[in-house]
Every structure is written in C-alpha cells, then in structure tokens.
Amino acid sequence: MAFRPLLALGLAITAVSAQVDTSLSFTNSFSVISTTVPSSTGSQYVYTTVTGQSTVVTTMTAPLNGTATGALNGTALASNATSSSRDSQITVSPTSYSLTVIAGSTHTSNGTSTSNSGGTSTSTSARPTNTVPCNGFPEFCSRKYSNISNVCSHNSAFVKKNNAASNQQLPILNQLYDGVRMLQGETHLVNNTIYNCHTECSLLNAGTFQAELEVVNGWLRDNPYEVLTILISNSDFVDVEHYVAPITNSGLLNYVYEPAYIPQYRDQWPTLGEMILRNKRVVFFMDYMADQAKVPYILDQYSHIWETPFSPQDRNFPCTIGRPPDLNETLARDQLMYLANHNLNQAIDVSAILGTNIGTILIPNTAELNNTNADGLQIGQATAMVSNCTQDWGRPPNFLVVDYYNIGSPEAGSVFHTVAKANGVVYTRDCCGVTTSAAAPAPRKGTMLAAVMAAAMIVGVALSM
C-alpha cells in the first residue's frame, strides 16, 4: 500500500503564540484509519555494517589572508573538501577563508601566567574566560559535537500553507534563528536536479535543495559561532554525487566538516569550539547511498547515528532501536549518537478525494501537537520521551525530531526548553518566528591577541576533557 502526502486535507487547530499566528487550517475532509507504517526493508534499503575504522588523510591549505605562524598569530588553515565528482552542474568554485576567532573576557584574580617566550610572571589576571556562545551557549564551546542535544525540524523545507502534507509552519531562516540545529528533509531527483518534495513533487514541492542551502549559507555567514547538522533523506536512492552540485553551488562547500575517521565514533568528534575556530560548521549525513570514498563530507547516517522507530503513530514513543535494523546494542550505546523521532503521525484514507490508486498516506497528527511538543512528563510529551530515552541509554538523544516545532505547551517553542534541560542549560530566546540572532557579534579588528588566547584556552580545555 502506497504512503503519500496530500495537497489539502480538512483539519484545523489553534495554538497560542505571542510571535506568530500558529493556526493551522487545511481544506477538504478525510477519514483517519488504523494501519501500520511500512518497514524500511527491501533491496533499496542498504545499511552499512561497521567492521572496522579507517583514518582520513586531509590535505590542508593556507587561506588567502593568513600565513603567519606562532601561538599568538596562528596560521589559519582550511581543509579542502574534496569529491571525486566532476558534475557539470557545478557553477561555482570553492574559495579559501580565514578562521573564526572566539573572543573571551578576563576577570581579576590572583594567578600565575606563562608567556610564549617561556618566562613566568605573577599576574592578577587569570586565563581568559570564554563568553561567546557556541550554538547559543558559552558552555557548548568546550563540549563535543556528539555530546549535545539538538532540536531537529522534520522535513524542514516543507512549509506550504493549506497543505496538510506540510511538516513545519515557519520557514528555514526562522527555524535557524529560533534554535533548530538539525535540518532534515526528503529529497528527490527530478530532471537531474535535487528537489525538496514530499513523496512526489506533484503533491508537495518546496523548491530545490540548492535554494534551501543558499538560505543556510547566508545564515552561517551572518552567524559565525553556529554549527549546523543537515540530514538528507535520499528518497530516490540516487548516487550521492548528485548532491555535490547543490552543496557546491550554494556556497556551503567551504563550511563542510570532514571527519578524521570513517566511521567516526561518538567520543572522536571535536568540540563545537574547535569546529567554529576552523570554520567547519556544517555536518552532512545521508540515510541511504552515502559513500565517503566518493563524497567525504556526506556521512553515512546509520554508521554514526541510530534512530528510534520512524514515522511513529504510537504516542508512547518507545525509545528502542528502529533503524538500522539488527544493530548491536552495545555498539549503539557506546559508539554511536542517536536520534529520537518525536513526530506523531496519523494514517488517512484519501481514496475518496484523490482516487483509489493513491492509497493510504501519513501526515502529522496536528490535533495532538500541543501535547506532543509539550515540555512535560505526561504520556506522549517531548520531555517525557527525552527523559525515558536518557534513562534507557544513559544519555539524552543527540537529535529530537519534531513537526511544527513552534507549537507546544506551556508556551510556543516548548521543545527548545525540553532540549535545553537535557543539555543542562536554560533556553532564553524569544520564540518563535524571530529573524535576528542572539549570538555574539563578529570580532572586531584589534582584538586578535585576546581572541586567539581565548581560543587556545577553549581548545586546550576541550582536549583535556
């Protein structure tokens, strides 16, 4: 039985928000039915079996504006993101860039400092303390990428008014400024171009993948202290090299992170501070057909991240392993990150609307959004799932996947409070629908010495953890 999204279905809910109108309304009517979600089995669903690990050799080149060496000046080195692809659709060339610096502030205390020349002197100033937020919080700068929980917007680009197959209400730029740090979405290859489409582009077409990435590129440029993850759903199971052109043409190639190992285990990831200093701030994963021998910066999802049952219809949201199937539990617990699917779905019968050949489809259960996305511990609520997963696996999920992230209770954007609690911090942004950053401004000229000292401290702390 085919599962397809729908252009317009009858449903209406209202949630309260001080920032945006969160009313959702769709036309026509439908009947909710009980059915099971198809499993990801078949010859097209190929999961990598991890039997060992290889070390990646990365070529480093000096950027256009940094050649000085030394502890204070710092040589700004950028990794060349490479691919075996020679895609004729690539219309731009990658460029070099300088490192981002993380400036810190000092506080007065009695301490001893050591200069670069080797001399020791007594000073009333301790080492600089980082005050610049990485992904919104200074505490994250020294924390490993793999040791942070993030909100993931399910099918991030699927923002279509009056379309019940949509998964979000606010566009990607709003999502990023509100605090979403994983974008995810279903993609399809149409006329040699990658599109954001839900099942078929005739049903919901959210534009090209490149257009989405161009928005991301602009946001990264304006927010130099942010690290973002993009999870690609390769729904047509096409060769990974089809994705090189949109990534390159969008300008994101300069930002892509290439791991030091294939696969890279959880304790081998760098800190956010290290990734920001090197300006390698975008991590790509792909569910099927990733091949790091061809495209080293698109990582295979399931050898790095396992996930709970996908497209859940069970409001209990079990925190068991859904994909990849038959994953060794010890490997899942000790070596991999994990993703919690907390987007509640409902199956609907659209035969009376679109014809008997369409079959049954899954759409977000929007009637339950206030409860599903709630910062609470009742059955079906977001904080309850994170708490249960933490208890089961000894650590919270790295990514919490949600529909309509801006709707929830007791307030709009409640999922951010859920994730902040998992991280041991407090979410203080105004949500939702903001288009300005709460991050620190870009460093000014003349602060390089203090900035590099602070950066060195951050990296030193990170390496000692």
Predicted local confidence at residue 128, as pLDDT: 63
**Whole-prediction pTM value?**
0.79
Predicted local confidence at residue 424, as pLDDT: 98
Token pair belonging to 20:
């945006």
Residues 6+ apart with CB under 8 A from 381: 371, 372, 373, 374, 375
pLDDT digits (tens, 9 = 90+) for 106-152: 333 333 333 344 444 444 455 566 789 999 999 999 999 999 999 99
Count of helices and strands (H, E) across the chain:
10, 23
What count of other Cβ atoms lies within 10 Å of the Cβ of residue 410?
A: 11
What count of other Cβ atoms lies within 10 Å of the Cβ of residue 292?
A: 21
Predicted local confidence at residue 102, as pLDDT: 59
Predicted local confidence at residue 12, as pLDDT: 35
In sequence order, what are the beta bridge partners of 43?
none
Token pair belonging to 95:
């460029």
Fold assignment, 11-31+130-436+444-464: TIM Barrel (3.20.20)
Question: DSSP characters for 224-283?
Answer: TT--EEEEEEETT---GGGGHHHHHHTTGGGGB---SEES--GGGPPBHHHHHHTT--EE
CA atoms of 168 and 385, how far apart (whole Å): 21
Tens-binned pLDDT, residue by residue, of the chain (465 aa): 333 334 434 333 333 333 455 667 654 445 555 555 445 656 667 777 666 777 876 544 333 333 333 332 333 334 445 555 556 678 766 555 455 555 544 333 333 333 344 444 444 455 566 789 999 999 999 999 999 999 999 999 999 998 888 999 999 999 999 999 999 999 999 999 999 998 888 878 999 999 999 999 999 999 999 999 999 999 999 999 999 999 999 999 999 999 999 999 999 999 999 999 999 999 999 999 999 999 999 999 999 999 999 999 999 999 999 999 999 999 999 999 999 999 999 987 766 555 545 567 788 999 999 999 999 999 999 999 999 999 999 999 999 999 999 999 999 999 999 999 999 999 999 899 977 765 544 443 333 333 433 444 444 444 444
Predicted local confidence at residue 52, as pLDDT: 75
**Residue written as token pair 């950053």:** 437
Give the residue numbers annotated as catalytic, written as ranges.
154, 198
Q: H or E segment at 422?
A: helix 414-423
Nearest Cα neighbor of 65 from 99, 92, 94 is: 99
Q: H or E segment at 189?
A: strand 182-190
Token pair belonging to 396:
């919270």
Helix orientation angle between 382-393 and 414-423, rounded to the nearest 10 degrees: 20
Predicted local confidence at residue 140, as pLDDT: 97
**Residue written as token pair 């994250």:** 140
Nearest Cα neighbor of 332 from 404, 394, 417 is: 394
Contact of 190 with 180, CB cutoff 8 Å: no
Token pair belonging to 361:
């489809």
